[in-house]
Structure 1
Amino acid sequence: MLMSNTDRPARLHFMANGFRVLAPGDHVVCAVSGTRIALDDLRYWSVAKQEAYASAALATEAMTPA
C-alpha cells in the first residue's frame, strides 16, 4: 500500500534560494501564526531560524526585535 503525504507536515531544511525536503508531507506550520502553509504556497522563511512564515508581514514580525 502506498502512503499518502496528505495532511502530514513536511520537515524542511531552508536555504537562501529554496528548501530541501527532509521528510515528505504536504504542508508546514507558520512559526508565528500556527497556520498551515501548503508547500506550493510557501514563499517566506528564515534560514537562520529554520522557520516558515505564512506571509511577508508575519516574517517581518518574527524578525523584528521586540
Structure 2
Amino acid sequence: MMNRMERPEPGTEAQLRYTDSDYHVVKSGAFVRCAVTGLAIPLDELKYWSATRQEAYVDAKAAGEREKAERAKK
C-alpha cells in the first residue's frame, strides 16, 4: 500500500480497491480511469466510485449515467 509521502511516477495508472467510504491502493500510480468516459482522474481529485462495481467516475454525472444504465439492464 502506498503512503501519502510516496509520489507515483507521473503518467502511470493506479489500481485501487474501492470500499464504501474509502479506497486502498493496490498498485501505485498517478490516476485511475473513469469507467464511463475513459478520462484520467488524478487520485487527489477522485471523489466518485462504486465499491460494488469496483470502478471510478470522473464526476457525479458519470456516476449517475452508470447507475441509470445498470438499472435499465434489470
- Normalising by structure 1, report the TM-score: 0.91
Cα RMSD (Å): 0.9
User: Whose helix fraction is larger, Structure 1's or Structure 2's?
Assistant: 2
Which residue number in structure 1 is paired with residue 23 of structure 2? 19
The count of residues paired between Structure 1 and Structure 2 equals: 63
Which residue number in structure 2 is paired with residue 6 of structure 1? 10
Which residue number in structure 2 is paired with residue 35 of structure 1? 39
| Cα deviation, residue 5, structure 1 | 1.9
Bigger CA drift: 4-13 or 30-39? 4-13
- Normalising by structure 2, report the TM-score: 0.81
Identity %: 38
**Structure 1 segments (4+ residues) deviating >3 Å:** none
- 2:61 & 2:25 partners in 1: Cα distance? 25
